[in-house]
């Protein structure tokens, strides 16, 4: 990853405010249709949204959520561009270096046909990513250090699944998403990669794992600890990333029932 061709492959992150339609639909889905009860994170940040459950009809609920979003963004209308500028400034410092490191770790190049990753500024404290158009949510009120972790985590997914497809081309794209075991593995490995010393040089704080994954035990330890040890063992082996990813996939499939 040192040639001019390699440099041309590196994508750039573009920041923009999420559209009202996308914001509404995603926020509504997390409030009414998620497996892990993640609405608790939304209510921690937006307690007034609990009132949405007082409405019986979906159109009434959506209208309430939409009005809340509009009012919230209006109150913070000066903060949005201010924090957007802070994010852009801080991210610009590490972007190329981080993307180079990811390519080196995963032993693959960034694709030629993907030039832009879109970071959508949102009121949502949950930050989903979308592989189809290479975009993700980022809460515009996060502290800048947490912004960097979320951005590194989410952008890691895009190269990770490019690598995944190279190794497992027969696996259907729908399995890249929750609740499939392939999705679980990606969410375990992203923070593990961020905790690699080569990445920590720029992140400078330990990446966090899902609380739900911390509760899953594999051979007497939590799933994050188990796969972190597997990663450390791989680093010492000198083998290619392909070897580690195939091994990790084999292992998690043996424990698949624990993730359901």
Q: What's the pLDDT band for 172 if we cut at 50, 70, 90? A: very high
Q: What's the pLDDT band for 3 if we cut at 50, 70, 90? A: low
Which strand (E) or helix (H) includes residue 221? strand 221-222
Length of the chain: 260
Domain boundaries, the chain: 1-98+113-141, 173-259
Q: For 9-77, what is the HEC assignment?
A: HCCEEEEEECCHHHHHHHHHHHHHCCCCCCHHHHHHHCHHHHHHHHCCCHHHHHHHHHHHHHHHHHHCC
Please provide residue 188's backbone torsions phi and psi, each rounded to the nearest 5 degrees.
-80, -40
Q: What's the pLDDT band for 171 if we cut at 50, 70, 90? A: very high
Q: At what angle do helices 241-254 and 144-167 cross, to 10 degrees?
A: 90
Question: Mean pLDDT across the stretch 218-237?
Answer: 97
pLDDT computed for residue 7 by the predictor: 67
Give CA–CA dist 143/11, Å, rounded: 24
Burial of 147 (0-12, 13-18, 19+ CB in 10 A): buried
pLDDT computed for residue 36 by the predictor: 80
Give the residue carrying structure tokens 């959508």.
Answer: 120
Residue 47 neighbours by CB distance under 10 Å: 9
pLDDT in tens, 109-139: 999 999 999 999 999 999 999 999 999 999 9
Q: What's the pLDDT band for 180 if we cut at 50, 70, 90? A: very high
């Amino acid at each position: 990853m040192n040639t001019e061709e390699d440099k041309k492959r590196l994508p750039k992150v573009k920041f923009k405010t999420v559209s009202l339609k996308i914001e509404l639909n995603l926020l509504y889905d997390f409030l009414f249709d998620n497996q892990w009860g993640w609405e608790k994170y939304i209510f921690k940040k937006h307690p007034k949204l609990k009132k949405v459950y007082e409405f019986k009809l979906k159109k009434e609920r959506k209208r309430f959520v939409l009005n809340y979003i509009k009012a919230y963004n209006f109150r913070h209308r000066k903060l949005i561009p201010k924090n957007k500028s802070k994010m852009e400034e801080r991210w610009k410092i590490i972007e190329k270096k981080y993307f180079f490191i990811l390519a080196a770790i995963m032993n693959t190049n960034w694709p030629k046909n993907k030039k832009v990753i879109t970071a959508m500024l949102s009121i949502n404290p949950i930050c989903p990513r979308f592989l189809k158009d290479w975009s993700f949510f980022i809460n515009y009120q996060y502290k800048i250090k947490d912004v960097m972790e979320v951005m590194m985590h989410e952008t890691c997914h895009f190269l990770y699944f490019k690598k995944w497809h190279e190794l497992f081309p027969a696996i259907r794209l729908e399995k890249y998403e929750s609740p499939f075991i392939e999705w679980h593995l990606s969410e375990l490995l992203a923070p593990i990669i961020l905790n690699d010393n080569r990445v920590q040089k720029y992140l400078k704080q330990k990446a966090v794992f899902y609380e739900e994954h911390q509760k899953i035990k594999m051979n007497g330890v939590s799933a994050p600890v188990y796969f972190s040890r597997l990663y450390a063992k791989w680093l010492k082996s000198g083998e290619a990333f392909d070897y580690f990813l195939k091994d990790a996939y084999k292992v998690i499939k043996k424990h698949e029932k624990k993730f359901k």
